[in-house]
């Protein structure tokens, strides 16, 4: 058995591809549409890990955003990552993208979310979160785009709530849980299974402001479990009030990576009448879950007429393949170790 294990080991390493280097990340993102979407997507989400500093990562993403002219998916993901990086230098660009009426609404939506994430964590005494909130409220009042209006209202509410909580003296609330994303609204602190029914009721209450419903949603995500997933999946398919809310539900289901959400996400992806941002997030979530059923659903929409959806399925399948390679490698290592120990 030990000899067989040694022979297998001699075949060389088998598993997922190595993470791109900083140089490779720069080449991929600055090449724009000359680089495949999957390559750019992977480079984008590795930029933070391989860049010499967060400032370097932010500078690269700022330079690369307009170069992704062929892909709403990539432009909006660049805006998302810039918000998560927390570099104040990105604020002018995100404001410009938000106000650019020629830009796709999904990219503008992500720029608004990024501004809120950046602003809530700004340590600069020169940054006026109330002023930005007023600008967002003004845009919400005048835009004809419902999803953009909802996003601006959410971002403004988050800024004002953060300002009231700490007078702008530090970072916004951070989830004390396994999730590290900077979220548009905080879940209930120290929530447990006991809080799930009330959080689900808040999420479902259409009379509440969207910001409050978001708090219920993130509480469900933070607690997790079958009941929480069922509540989130149900709202994904039954809500008719806000595509922004439904897209965020799909996003958190992807974060949770619970296989129980697969059917609801597949249904959301399959709805041609659903907003593209919802179908996009459903696809990305299915890629994170990565079950065979999830991959079947992604393959079915790999050539969707909505380019955002098609590209989302493409990168989601690549994500699923990446993590499956890791699982196979881990299983192979365990098998080799067992053979050596026998």
Say if residues 317 and 290 touch (Cβ distance below 8 Å): no
247 labelled binding-site residue: yes
Q: Write the burial class of residue 125 (CB in 10 Å: 0-12 exposed, 13-18 middle, 19+ buried).
A: exposed
Q: Is 248 annotated as a binding residue?
A: yes
Place of tokens 């955002």: 308
281 is in an annotated binding site: yes
How many CB atoms sit inside 10 A of residue 141's CB? 10
Q: Is 220 exposed, middle or buried (0-12, 13-18, 19+ CB in 10 A)?
A: buried
Residue 299 annotated in ligand binding: no
The token duo for 187 is: 């879940």
List of residues 6+ apart from 19 with CB closer than 8 A? 46, 49, 50
Report the C-alpha gap between 314 and 325 in whole angstroms. Answer: 17
Q: Is-contact 58 87, C-beta < 8 A? A: yes
Place of tokens 């230098």: 89
Segment 87-90 long-range contacts (CB within 8 Å, at least 24 positions apart) = 87/54, 87/55, 87/57, 87/58, 87/118, 88/118, 88/122, 88/124, 88/127, 89/55, 89/58, 89/59, 89/62, 90/58, 90/61, 90/62, 90/114, 90/118
For residue 65, give both structure tokens.
């955003």
What are the b/e assignments for 275-288, b being 16+ CB within 10 Å? bbbbbbbbbbbbbb
Alpha-carbon distances, residue 264 vs 230, 247, 258 (angstroms): 9, 13, 11
CA dihedral sign of residues 198, 199, 204, 208? positive
Residue ranges for the binding site?
76-77, 109-110, 247-248, 280-281
Which residues carry a binding-site annotation for Fe cation? 76-77, 109-110, 247-248, 280-281
């Amino acid at each position: 058995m030990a000899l067989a294990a040694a022979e297998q080991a001699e075949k060389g390493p088998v598993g997922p591809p190595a993470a791109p280097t900083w140089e490779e990340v720069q080449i991929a993102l600055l090449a724009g549409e000359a680089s495949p979407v999957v390559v750019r997507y992977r480079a984008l989400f590795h930029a933070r890990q391989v860049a010499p500093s967060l400032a370097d990562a932010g500078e690269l993403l700022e330079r690369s955003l307009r170069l992704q002219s062929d892909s709403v998916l990539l432009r909006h993901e660049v805006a998302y990552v810039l918000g998560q990086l927390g570099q104040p230098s990105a604020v002018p660009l995100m404001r410009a993208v938000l106000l650019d009426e020629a830009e796709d609404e999904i990219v503008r939506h992500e720029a608004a979310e990024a501004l809120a994430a950046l602003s809530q964590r700004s340590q600069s005494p020169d940054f006026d979160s109330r002023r930005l909130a007023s600008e967002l409220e003004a845009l919400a009042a005048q835009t004809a785009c419902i999803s953009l209006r909802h996003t601006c209202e959410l971002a403004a509410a988050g800024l004002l709530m953060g300002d009231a909580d700490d007078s702008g003296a530090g970072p916004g609330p951070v989830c004390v849980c396994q999730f590290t994303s900077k979220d548009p609204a905080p879940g209930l602190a120290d929530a447990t299974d006991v809080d799930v029914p009330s959080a689900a009721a808040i999420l479902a209450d259409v009379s509440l402001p969207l910001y409050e419903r978001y708090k219920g949603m993130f509480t469900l995500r933070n607690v997790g479990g079958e009941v929480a997933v069922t509540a989130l999946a149900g709202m994904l398919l039954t809500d008719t009030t806000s595509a922004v809310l439904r897209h965020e539900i799909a996003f958190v289901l992807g974060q949770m990576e619970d296989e129980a959400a697969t059917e609801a996400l597949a249904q959301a992806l399959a709805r041609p009448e659903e907003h593209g941002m919802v179908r996009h997030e459903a696809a990305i979530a299915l890629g994170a879950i990565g079950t065979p059923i999830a991959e079947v659903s992604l393959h079915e929409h790999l050539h969707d007429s909505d380019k955002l959806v098609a590209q989302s399925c493409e990168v989601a399948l690549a994500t699923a393949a990446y993590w499956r390679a890791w699982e196979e490698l881990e299983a192979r290592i365990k098998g080799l170790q067992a053979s050596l120990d026998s």
